[in-house]
Amino acid sequence: MNQPDKAKLRNFLQQNAAFNPEDLEEACAHFSSRQLKKGEVFVPIGKICKEVAFITEGALKVWYLNQMGEETVSCFCTSVGLSTAYRSFAQQVPSELGITALVPSHVFVLSYEHFQKLLTTRPVWQALGRNILEQQYLEMEQYASVLNNENAHEKYLRILQSTPEIAQLASVADLASYLGVTRRTLSRIRQDVALGK
């Protein structure tokens, strides 16, 4: 674990729970470093998710198969943050979501076994788990609100404001899938935004 990335992990843990130095060192020791290639699958659909990833560099996309069997992007995960198929990870059931590296990415990975061990032996991990689940719930609620209340143009503007790197890193196909539009419509939206419309 190199020092800059280790600092990112430490900061994230401390921001989400009151870790003392001993607990923090133990927590960091349970995370293993991993490089993901562009397009590499972190969580495959239909398999039980056994890991959670802390992203220090790059970005991941979360997707599912719609009723037509087509890949549909539901969200993008960027550094510095966690990514996993939460329901599959928590309940150890086959995942309905897939998670794939959008670009070459560096992550620190925590296994389900280590997570459970920390959860039962270190009370601070219970607080961390609650905070992370709360954040995920709020993000899901926001995503549902966006789906119902924003059109594709508004969603694209929000990406530019909140996570501009995604507009640069994601393929046209992935962005169009996330926005729920065709590639042609996305190209028109980009032109309108560039012209200040």
Do 157 and 143 share a structural domain? Answer: no
Euclidean distance between CA atoms 195 and 155, whole angstroms:
17
143-175 pLDDT, tens digit per residue, is 666 666 778 888 899 889 888 999 889 999 999
Give Cα 19 to chain centroid, integer Å.
23
Do 109 and 158 share a structural domain? Answer: no
Coil, strand or helix: which one is 186? Answer: helix
DSSP state of 30: H
Do 157 and 144 share a structural domain? Answer: no
Question: Cis peptide before 80, with omega less than 30 degrees from 0?
Answer: yes
For the cut 90, the answer to whether the pLDDT of residue 3 exceeds it is no
Do 155 and 80 share a structural domain? Answer: no
Do 144 and 67 share a structural domain? Answer: yes
* Domain region containing 166: 151-197
The CA-based angle 119-123-126, given to 5 degrees, is: 55
Do 196 and 129 share a structural domain? Answer: no
Average pLDDT over residues 191-195: 87
**Tokens read off for 99:** 């998670």
Do 187 and 118 share a structural domain? Answer: no
pLDDT of res. 1: 45
Do 87 and 7 share a structural domain? Answer: yes
Do 72 and 27 share a structural domain? Answer: yes
Q: Which of 95, 104, 118, 117 is nearest to 55 (CA)?
A: 104
The CA-based angle 15-101-68, given to 5 degrees, is: 115
Q: What is the CATH number of the domain that holds 19?
A: 2.60.120.10
> Does the predicted model carry a pTM greater than 0.75?
yes
Do 158 and 140 share a structural domain? Answer: no
Do 143 and 177 share a structural domain? Answer: no
The answer to whether 61 touches 163, Cβ cutoff 8 Å, is no
Structural domain total, the chain: 2
Q: Which of 108, 100, 40 is nearest to 73 (CA)?
A: 100
96-136 pLDDT, tens digit per residue, is 999 999 999 999 999 999 999 888 888 898 888 887 777 77
Do 66 and 53 share a structural domain? Answer: yes
